[in-house]
């Protein structure tokens, strides 16, 4: 890697890929379960729900083959609410060693967008609310929670990703980033378990997902999403149907994770993209909210 030439990851054993995908399948189920029980929840809360199961197992894991892996999660929260230049919410960094020698690194980053219900009633973090911080709990909304005791949230393929308007400055920032550093960025779409679906307030029972959701969290390459947005009027937001039927790769979250380990998505890290890595990960004020670092130690000579 010293020459600055891009180096792809060496072959990763299938047992490791299966373990990695299983963790992201749990994350998919976690974030989707959160959404169907809290249909108006903040997008940042869904980010946390995705990361929560990944944080439960951060100790090193050894496989019979001699491979050792470790997943670490660092969540600092995004700054998009303060500055509209956030490139992604979650970065996934893969590092592979053989013995003590570094054999390769790869990164993929995910910009999360949630599907809005028909009534568009979604809690969101306005810039002023973000600056106000936890003080908001000391001065609550004067409207009683009882006023929202009777609400219906309907989801179908005509629902929109309400925080993804065509021509938005964040979209332009991501486009510039992709042109400079390559196809590292994908959109992560938070959806209900399936559509159509309807939730009601007040809730009468908690809905638990046992199996992988038929729809759930999906990942689409940024270029494909931006092509969809280019066909919309400025300020218009895409529907679930727009994204589902106008993109070639509509991966489940765990499928994207597998593709990352197989070097089919993301970009390898070398000197040519050091500035990108510094912008995303090194600075505390960087335009990313959380990092999932996955290290793989292969047996063998250095």
Is the pLDDT at 125 greater than 70, yes or no? no
Tens of pLDDT, residues 143-173:
656 666 789 999 999 999 999 999 998 899 8
Q: Is the pLDDT of residue 278 over 50?
A: yes
Quote the pLDDT of residue 159. 98
* High-pLDDT (> 70) share of the chain, %: 80
Range of weakest confidence among 100-104, 140-144, 175-179, 262-266: 140-144
Q: Residue 73: which of 87, 89, 62, 96 has the closest Cα?
A: 89
Pick the more confident residue, 124 or 151: 151
Residue 279: band (very low, low, confident or very high) from pLDDT cuts 50, 70, 90? low
Share of the chain above pLDDT 90, in %: 65
Question: What pLDDT digit, counting tens, does each position of 57-73 carry?
Answer: 899 999 999 999 999 99
pLDDT of amino acid 269? 84
Q: Is the pLDDT of residue 274 over 90?
A: no
pLDDT given for residue 257 in this prediction: 98
Q: What is the mean pLDDT of residues 72-78?
A: 80
Q: Which two tokens stand for residue 115?
A: 């599907």
CA angle 241, 33, 85 (to 5 degrees): 60
Output the pTM of the full model.
0.89
Q: How confident is residue 179, by pLDDT bands cut at 50, 70 and 90?
A: confident
What's the angle, vertex CA 38, arms to CA 195 and CA 218, rounded to 5?
45
> Which residues are within 8 A (CB) of 7 and not within 5 positions of it... i.e. 6 or more apart?
1, 103, 104, 268, 270
Could you read off the pLDDT of 182-228 as tens digits, one per residue?
A: 788 999 999 999 999 999 998 999 999 999 999 999 999 999 999 99
Mean pLDDT of the chain: 86
């Amino acid at each position: 890697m010293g020459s600055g030439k891009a180096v792809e990851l060496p072959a990763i054993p299938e047992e490791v890929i299966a373990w990695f995908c299983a963790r992201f399948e749990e994350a998919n189920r976690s974030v989707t379960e959160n959404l169907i029980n809290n249909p108006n929840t903040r997008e940042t809360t869904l980010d946390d729900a995705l990361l929560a199961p990944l944080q439960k197992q951060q100790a090193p894991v050894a496989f019979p083959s001699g491979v050792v892996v470790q997943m670490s999660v660092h969540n600092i929260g995004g700054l998009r609410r303060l500055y509209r230049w956030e490139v992604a919410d979650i970065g996934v960094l893969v590092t592979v060693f053989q013995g003590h020698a570094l054999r390769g690194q790869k990164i993929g980053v995910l910009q999360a967008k949630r599907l809005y219900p028909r009534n568009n009633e979604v809690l969101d973090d306005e810039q002023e609310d973000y600056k106000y911080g936890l003080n908001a709990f000391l001065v609550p909304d004067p409207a009683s929670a009882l006023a929202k005791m009777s609400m219906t949230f309907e989801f179908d393929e005509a629902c929109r990703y309400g925080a993804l308007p065509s021509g938005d400055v964040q979209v332009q920032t991501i486009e510039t980033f992709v042109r400079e550093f390559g196809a590292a960025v994908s959109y992560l779409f938070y959806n209900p378990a399936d559509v159509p679906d309807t939730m009601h307030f007040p809730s009468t029972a908690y809905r638990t997902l046992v199996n992988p959701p038929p729809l759930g969290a999906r990942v689409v390459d940024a270029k494909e999403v931006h092509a969809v947005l280019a066909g919309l009027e400025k300020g218009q937001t895409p529907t679930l149907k727009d994204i589902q039927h106008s993109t070639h790769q509509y991966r489940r979250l765990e499928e994207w994770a597998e593709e990352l380990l197989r070097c089919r998505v993301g970009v390898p890290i070398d000197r040519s993209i050091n500035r990108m890595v510094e912008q995303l990960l090194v600075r505390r004020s960087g335009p990313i909210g959380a990092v999932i670092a996955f290290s793989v130690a292969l047996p063998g000579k250095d």
